[in-house]
Amino acid sequence: MRLLRYATLALLCAAIVAAPAVAGWESYKELFLASKFPQLTAMCVANKDAIQADPSVDVILKYCGMAELALYKKDGQTERLSTAIDYLEQSVAIRYSEEAAYHLGLARLKALDRLTGAKDQLAREKEGLNDLWESLLKMHATENFSRDTLSNTMLVWSQNARDSLIERVLNNEKNPARTHLLAAMIRGLADRFTMINPDKGETEVRKGNLKIFKEWMRELLELSYFDNNIIVGMYKYRGDRQQEQYDQTPATDDHFTRALYNYNEALKRVKTNKARAVLSSDVAYLATLYTSSDKEKLAAYYKLGFDNANEGLQIMRKLNERAASVPGASYPYEVDGSELTAKLQKSFGANLTGLAYEHYLRKDYASIVGLRTYLFDAGFDWENKSVTFTLLAETADKLAAEHYHQPEIFKSYKALCLAASSHAFKLVMKKQQQRGRGAAYSPEFCRAYQYYVNYLNRFGETIEARDLSSQYEQGCQNVGAPQ
């Protein structure tokens, strides 16, 4: 009899141990805030029946759905989306909350790509957008954009809503009526953030974050009108955000690639010349940022950037010629032409210098000579322009030496060498004069002077070389030798 009682007690204890503990909603919240999503989802499954009987079932289901959505973002398993949607739909149906509705909208929008029927996609898209938009509107009602310091929740929700709206715009490219509605939603969201006062942030970090977010939303509003085409504008917006995240390290190469992809997608669709010049400027600037130990790839991106800057400048020259007879902007929030031209010129110079240098390192002298027309015809200055002329002069000098027994070819390279070194010297002379009369010669000035005099002497132009030496030799004696 005693043995039977012991056996019954053992079975009862085993059953107690095997049964999952029914936790209160606070336990689910704690696991979610600690990002312990696998444990949370496992507890949701284990306590499935008990959760339905809990007075806070809507709250628990909300955290179960949010955890499944968080795991989907990590592992991309599509079945998690269905589970997340199921949990969140139940939560909202039992008791509405902005947080559950917001995440339900995100989950529904992310699940759209699995739908093949156009009608199903449109219906589900409307559901997702409505959930997302309604939750944001209710959140808006509790936070005064012009008076309050916006909560982190508002910023995160708005950023995710922005990204979801942009995704839907690009996916609805062939449905103009739909993109028109989505554009209005994007503008409505972005316009609210123009009222933010970043100085109301509690700390310097918060002030900085609010300032950045306000700038993002200002650009979003303006680019929704870019080229009079929301599709082109959103590709550019995506490219700008990716470009910001590229910090010129191999770890962020993916952001460079994505930025370039988005700019190119925008270029494929652009209609107005001004917008094309803007996008060409974006690609050209992005190329100047690229760093890599792969010299072939580096040269290819310098070439890409140079070609885009050159095309952009040609467009701006034509637009400036027509400006007098055809005034007015091509689209709202059009960028200033002078600023755009200055940006293109800077990228033109940086990419041209980088390309010439990469050619020089590979001893590809023919390609450097092929750049001479662009270099001589550029009627504007940029950093290291004199260095580029020096590279061209050195290249021409080497080629002249190789063709010493071919008088006509030798003569052409001699002329090119002297012209390039003369331009380099004049550029640094201009900088020297800007330093003021009587200022000591800079190392840059003396290097350019010495190169030019050496070339003059080498090619028999001794009179001019002697004249320059009489003016500058003494002042450069203690500055340092050319490097």
pLDDT tops 80 at residue 221: yes
pLDDT, tens only, 10-32: 433 433 333 344 468 899 999 99
Q: What is the pLDDT of residue 327?
A: 65
Mean predicted lDDT score pLDDT of the chain: 89
CATH code assigned at 129: 1.25.40
Predicted confidence (pLDDT) per residue in 326-348, tens digit: 666 788 999 999 999 999 999 99
pLDDT band at 4 (very low <50, low <70, confident <90, very high): very low
Task: Out of 135-149, 298-312, 458-472, pick the least confident.
Answer: 135-149
What is the number of other CB atoms lying within 10 angstroms of the CB of residue 391? Answer: 22
- pLDDT at residue 65 tops 80: yes
**Could you tell me if residue 303 is inside a domain?**
no
Query: Which amino acid appears at position 446 of this protein?
Result: C
Domain count for the chain: 1
Higher pLDDT, 229 or 146: 229
Least confident segment among 78-82, 438-442, 467-471: 438-442
What pLDDT sits at residue 437?
A: 78
Reported confidence tier of residue 41, pLDDT bands at 50, 70, 90: very high
The yes-or-no verdict on residue 44 having pLDDT over 90 is: yes
How many whole angstroms separate alpha carbon 15 and alpha carbon 334? Answer: 72
Asked if residue 334 belongs to a domain, the reply is no
CA distance 269 to 5: 81
User: Rounded to whole angstroms, how far apart are CA atoms 136 and 308?
Assistant: 40
pLDDT of 17: 36
Cα angle: 287, vertex 312, 230; to 5 degrees: 85
CA distances from 196 to 71, 106, 155, 247 (A): 33, 25, 11, 28
Residue 91 structural domain: 21-142
Instruction: Tell me whether residue 450 is in a domain.
Output: no
Least confident interval from 296-300, 324-328, 340-344, 363-367:
324-328
Please check whether residue 88 lies inside any domain of the structure: yes
Q: Which amino acid is at 139?
A: M
Quick check: 361 pLDDT over 80? Answer: yes
pLDDT at 153: 86
Picking from 112, 231, 239, the residue whose alpha carbon sits closest to that of residue 175 is 231
Domain assignment present for residue 287? The answer is no
Give the span between the Cα atoms of 467 and 452, in whole angstroms: 12
As a whole number of Å, the CA-based R_g of the chain is 33
Domain for residue 267, yes or no?
A: no
Q: Is residue 38 part of a domain?
A: yes
pLDDT at position 115, please? Answer: 62
